[in-house]
A and B are shown apart, each in its own frame.
Chain A
């Protein structure tokens, strides 16, 4: 018996000897879009976390099954899938991008290994059809009049607060948002990969509002796309020729106009 044959037999034995308990502690969690919010006519990133309490599992298959009911099972061939390795007693995060229409039909994400389904989870979340989706990274922009200004400017909109840590690292995952507002105090918590995804999303047509000049000073992540290079802070008081009734000064970013057009 040569070495090659030995290796083959050994591999087969491993498959046969993996006991049921080896898969006992595997579970998956699925978060579509931006913490659940997505658009049903755009690609949706399913953020999938896999928890494994047992030994390592190699070549497990994650797949999105279009319909759980047998009525349409012939069309439920898994088109969206990926192979993952599960760490022993560990947690991994991965993603699969699917069409928003499919996500809105609440498909099932299944994890399969050794011919058995280890766990499954139905894709939930909120599908937004035509409304503007405004994502606020930070609480402050939501507390002032900005949402109402947005409603007047863009019509009815859906607003979602997102902590900086939950910002995706992939511009496609940001497709659910029409407008992203970044709070100045939260901007330093945005990681370089997240900032890059936002810049790419802007290049693809996204509307970015840098509240108080968030991240737009020299060397900061949005300085290279911001029309104004922020150089400092100022405030604006007065009643603006009757446009304001309050007299409390508003803090503003001060800076130099560096690109784009001003009207």
Chain B
């Protein structure tokens, strides 16, 4: 795991006990605790969710046994992922994926005798700021779930939702992009690349999601706002393809189908700081990006 200092744009690898592998870290809302998934290196099917004080992560490994009782233990062939704290820090939502690909969202309450309860099918749970609802992802579609009643409504296409304390939901939207790299003398496309691009969009849902729950939105993506996109910059693979075609003397139109995704993903939106963090995944690198966002009025009217 890497610990990033967002003020100094620096990071360091955490010196954690090496007999475990670590995944899906999540700071508690007050920043004092960290939940993460760990897996015994020698035992394949043994994943656990543990919660430790955040200061343990920066302590020396010699003073750190990490001998803590796991909140969740998985002795089956499940993958545990996507940990998400409830706003009051009393519960933890997470998802599991079994070896058949079945995805489930669970909630576990912190305490002496933690017990997980399955709440829905899906992955990537995120809590509303008031803790009454969640957004989950199922087959590339986002749903809003009422935690108490278990009722849900469909929102629309999206992945990796994050509901931030200011009421905004950030999510990843993936689409097929056709990009013309070069043109024929008559202006028609010569060398074209088809690839998947992922961009980060946002909608305002309020503190409890009533705005979306009570409205019938069939234009989900159109009503969202783009926050970050990979843009039109060329990748190394595209440039190498173009170079080879030029050297081979190919002049007629060609299409390159790229199966990799040039995408922005794993958004984290901090409402109190007006800052969006996300990963930009290119073909040969991945970068942690930080973007300042601001709320703006686009129009006025009676309704």
Q: Tell me the A residues contacting B by CB distance below 8 Å.
A: 29, 31, 35-37, 40, 49, 69-74, 103-106, 123-129, 131, 136, 139, 142-143, 147, 157-161, 163, 165-166
Contacts and interface: CB of A to CB of B under 8 A. Distances in A.
Contacts of B12: none
A70 B247 contact: no
Interface string B165-203: 000000000000001111111010011000000000000
A165 to B, nearest CB: 6
A156 to B, nearest CB: 9
Contact of B183 (A31, A103, A106, A136): A31
A159 B181 contact: no
Nearest to B250: A161
Interface residues of B, number: 27
A158 B242 contact: yes
Contacts of A29: 187
Contacts of A163: 185
Contact of B246 (A40, A72, A159, A166): A159
B234 interface: yes
Given A126-B234, A126-B239, A159-B246, 7 more contacts: A71-B227, A72-B226, A124-B179, A127-B232, A136-B246, A158-B239, A166-B185
A131 B239 CA distance: 10
Given A69-B225, A71-B227, A160-B246, A105 B183 contact: no
Given A49-B187, A70-B225, A161-B246, A35 B182 contact: yes
Interface of B: 179-185, 187, 190-191, 225-227, 231-234, 238-239, 242-243, 246-247, 249, 251, 296, 298
Contact of B226 (A35, A71, A104, A165): A71
Contacts of B251: 161
Contacts of A142: 246-247, 249
Interface of A is mostly: mixed
Contacts of A129: 233-234
A26 to B, nearest CB: 15
A71 B225 contact: yes
Contacts of B182: 35-37, 125-126, 160
B34 to A, nearest CB: 32
A104 B179 CA distance: 12
A215 B17 CA distance: 70
B84 to A, nearest CB: 25
A37 B181 CA distance: 7
A105 B247 contact: no
A65 B265 CA distance: 26
- Where chain B touches its partner, the secondary structure class is mixed
A74 B187 contact: no
A125 B187 contact: no
Contact of B232 (A104, A131, A143): A104
B187 A31 contact: yes
A123 B181 CA distance: 10
B233 A104 contact: yes
23 contacts: A29-B187, A35-B183, A35-B184, A35-B185, A36-B180, A36-B182, A36-B183, A37-B181, A70-B225, A70-B226, A70-B298, A106-B232, A124-B232, A126-B181, A127-B232, A131-B239, A142-B246, A143-B249, A157-B243, A158-B242, A159-B247, A160-B246, A163-B185
Given A29-B187, A158-B239, A163-B185, A125 B246 contact: no
A83 B231 CA distance: 28
A156 B190 CA distance: 23
Contacts of A159: 243, 246-247
A125 B181 contact: yes
A105 B225 contact: no
A53 B187 CA distance: 18
B180 A125 contact: yes
Contacts of B233: 40, 104, 127, 129
A70 B225 CA distance: 6
Nearest to A148: B247
Nearest to A166: B185
Contacts of A72: 226
Nearest to B185: A166
Contact of B247 (A124, A128, A147, A165): A147
A124 B191 CA distance: 11
A125 B227 CA distance: 23
Nearest to B298: A70
A106 B231 contact: yes
Contacts of A143: 249
Contacts of A40: 233
Contacts of A103: 232
Given A142-B246, A147-B247, A158-B239, A36 B187 contact: no
Given A70-B298, A126-B182, A158 B243 contact: yes
B185 A165 contact: yes
B232 A105 contact: yes
Contacts of B296: 74
A141 B298 CA distance: 55
A142 B244 CA distance: 11
B190 A69 contact: no
